[in-house]
Amino acid sequence: MPTNTPPLSDDTTVHTLIIDTDPGADDVIALLLAMASPERLKIRALTTVAGNVPLAKTSRNARLAREWGQRPDIPVHGGAQRPLLRTPIYAADIHGSEGITGVRVHEPAQPLAEGHAVDYLIDTLRAAPAQSVTLAMLGPQTNLALALAQAPDIVRGLRELVLMAGAHFNGGNITPTAEFNVFADPHAAEIVLGSGVPITMLPLDLTHKVLATPERIARLRGLGNEAGRIVADILDAYVRHDMQYYGLPGGPVHDATVIGYLLQPSLFDGRWVNVAIDSREGLGFGQTVVDWYGGLKKPANVRWIAEGDAQGFFDLLTRGISRLP
């Protein structure tokens, strides 16, 4: 694809959506924004994967987000408990031992849906009309990689993949070169990037510019609803680490930008580039190798989003959260 190819969607597109997620504080905020937008995002299911914390906790946290968003109609399917090949790693130093800080967690009343997430993806995408399902991926890409390995024909049902993943200009956040979601399962990321499905990536290059400042968090808290309080409490706790570590005036809300992109892609800008994954052991393990200037002359496989309207995104987030109870 040429570098000037426009996004596949616009600000009016209605998505049939599956969200693959490893909650995680920023995942919870992403899920709440998605659940607040039923006129644009027709959520078929949430599928969970081990990532920020082990699978039992990411699955519970996805169910908590569903409870907070009052969307009992959305099934949650538990998925992969570990990466394809590498030793599992987690991010409890960022997200806390429970995966969410700033709020009390509990076991939600509504259980997981029957059936493994990988089986759900295979069955749903095989039955879907051609190029009809958007898959938002907020964590390691293990579930989709397993589904593609077992049933490569499922690409027919996918319209596009929108991923929070990768880093280039910004540098990594788990190593100097790697972003966490890719580092947690680079072999899965390789499979997904080779799928042939149109991919949009929202990397650290973008998310470290879209910051939850104290003023923006206060605006969410000032909404006066329960969802606004939950999001503000989570953000108050979550952003402290990155503000201190990176010296930023606020903290990124990485995964929530994926939902922002689906709702209002005009807020974001990027280009089609060739992206490869370094899965070799060593300093570059988990790096997204981005051919920004096209010097390798390889076909573009990713729309890499490098810029975004931060205030526009937080206006969108605040409007969305205001619609929740």
pLDDT of 179-224, one tens digit each? 999 999 999 999 999 999 999 999 999 999 999 999 999 999 999 9
Integer CA distances (angstroms), 152 to 14, 20, 131, 142, 310, in order: 26, 18, 14, 14, 37
Position 93 pLDDT exceeds 90: no
- CATH code of residue 187: 3.90.245.10
Task: Please tell me which residue in 15, 95, 208, 254 is annotated as part of the active site.
Answer: 254
160-172 residue pLDDT tens:
999 999 999 999 9
Is 74 inside a domain boundary? yes
* 3 within some domain: no
Q: What is the pLDDT of residue 3?
A: 44
pLDDT for the residue numbered 2: 39
If one counts the domains in the chain, the total is 1
What is the maximal distance between C-alpha atoms in the chain?
54
pLDDT at 144 over 90: yes
Q: What is the pLDDT of residue 1?
A: 38
Active site residue 254: yes
Percent of the chain at pLDDT exceeding 70: 98
Q: Which of 212, 174, 164, 32 is nearest to 94 (CA)?
A: 174
- Digit-coded pLDDT (tens) for 41-52: 999 999 999 999
Residue 84 forms part of a structural domain? yes
* Position 23 in a domain: yes
For residue 2, is it within any domain? no
Q: Residue 118: count other Cβ atoms within 10 Å of its Cβ.
A: 23
Range of the domain at 251: 15-322
Which pLDDT score is estimated for 6? 63
In a domain, 6, yes or no: no
Residue 5 is assigned to a structural domain of this protein: no
Task: Give a yes or no: residue 219 inside a domain.
Answer: yes
